[in-house]
Homo-oligomer: A and B are copies of this chain.
Amino acid sequence: MPSEASGDRKRSLHETIRSDIEGSIVSGAWQPGSQIPFEQDLAARYGCSRMTVNKVLTELSRAGLIERRRKAGSFVRRPSSQSAVLKIVDVRREVEALGLPYHFEILRRAVRPAIKADQPLLAVSAGTPVLDITCRHFAARRPFCLEDRLINLSAVPEVADEGFATLSPGAFLVSRIPWSTAEHRIRASAADAAAAEVLLVAPGSPCLVVERRTFDQDRPITHVRLVYPGDGHEMVARFAPTGG
């Protein structure tokens, strides 16, 4: 199994091991759910110490390719539905990173009880008070992003009194509210009439839509949908194989 193949440039031992295992998984040679060799066996096979193998398997575990259980061993993880792990900061930071002046405006704001249609977005029972807010972000005075947000007021009651004079709803929440989990969805979508009007694009033109649900210990905090118009917006990411 050790590759030691011809033409391999100078690679460290753990890189070689990792590449071998990753290849076996991605190629399907090691099926999801199947057990991979124990650390000791891999160490013997590669003629190295267990630490070196452990480093590789720990990385693969963090990367989500394998799952490890004490006493049981390590297993190829079933490809989870998550195809992406994503971090997003704040629209303001996003705009300023482009070197453009930023401002935003609140288009709509209402405190109301949650209705059934809210539940796929914000998992609260009907009747729970929510803050329903729409906001438009600008970069260099041009519409940059449309934000529709629901906030669970039973989890964050103090938001009801916030005027969002300087901080946008998203920035306010980030600064005040702890959260434990977030879930993102990214997709391409055609602009509907309302979004097209607000974003100054033609109806039906492609938009990048980012939806995020944020939880604190399984308690829903907020749901936000960000609509970025047209080809203009790119999300750029740079990362290394194992890093978070």
User: Which A residues are within 8 Å of any B CB, using their own CB?
Assistant: 7, 11, 15, 19, 22-24, 26-28, 59, 61-65, 78-90, 92-94, 96-98, 157-158, 166-167, 171, 174-190, 204-209, 228, 230-231, 233-244
Q: Which residues in B have their C-beta under 8 angstroms from that of A63? A: 87, 243-244
Instruction: Find A81's partner among B97, B187, B207, B239 (CB 8 Å cutoff).
Output: B97
- When the two chains form their complex, are residues B239 and A176 in contact, meaning their CB atoms are under 8 A apart? no
Known pairs A190-B206, A207-B188; A244 contacts B79 (CB<8 A): no
- When the two chains form their complex, are residues B236 and A83 in contact, meaning their CB atoms are under 8 A apart? yes
Q: Which residues in B have their C-beta under 8 angstroms from that of A182? A: 238-241
Q: Which residues in B have their C-beta under 8 angstroms from that of A86? A: 84-86, 235, 237, 239
**Closest-CB distance, A32 to chain B (whole angstroms):** 8
Instruction: Find A62's partner among B65, B78, B237, B244 (CB 8 Å cutoff).
Output: B244
- When the two chains form their complex, are residues B236 and A84 in contact, meaning their CB atoms are under 8 A apart? yes
Known pairs A86-B86, A231-B188, A241-B180; A7 contacts B236 (CB<8 A): no
- When the two chains form their complex, are residues B187 and A189 in contact, meaning their CB atoms are under 8 A apart? no
Kindly list the 8 A-B residue pairs having the minimum CB-CB distance in the complex, ordered from nearest: A23-B175, A62-B243, A81-B97, A206-B206, A188-B188, A243-B244, A188-B208, A79-B93
Instruction: Find A240's partner among B11, B157, B181 (CB 8 Å cutoff).
Output: B181
Complex-state Cα separation, A206 to B191, whole angstroms: 9
**Closest-CB distance, A89 to chain B (whole angstroms):** 6
Closest to A185 in B: B234
Complex-state Cα separation, A173 to B199, whole angstroms: 40
Complex-state Cα separation, A88 to B64, whole angstroms: 11
Known pairs A174-B26, A206-B188, A231-B187; A239 contacts B85 (CB<8 A): yes
Closest to A239 in B: B85
- When the two chains form their complex, are residues B186 and A90 in contact, meaning their CB atoms are under 8 A apart? no
Q: Which residues in B have their C-beta under 8 angstroms from that of A188? A: 188-189, 206-209, 228, 230-231, 233
**Closest-CB distance, A96 to chain B (whole angstroms):** 6
- When the two chains form their complex, are residues A19 and B178 in contact, meaning their CB atoms are under 8 A apart? yes
Q: Which residues in B have their C-beta under 8 angstroms from that of A27? A: 166-167, 171, 175
Q: Which residues in B have their C-beta under 8 angstroms from that of A183? A: 236-238
Q: Which residues in B have their C-beta under 8 angstroms from that of A15? A: 178
Complex-state Cα separation, A241 to B228, whole angstroms: 23
Q: Which residues in B have their C-beta under 8 angstroms from that of A11? A: 178
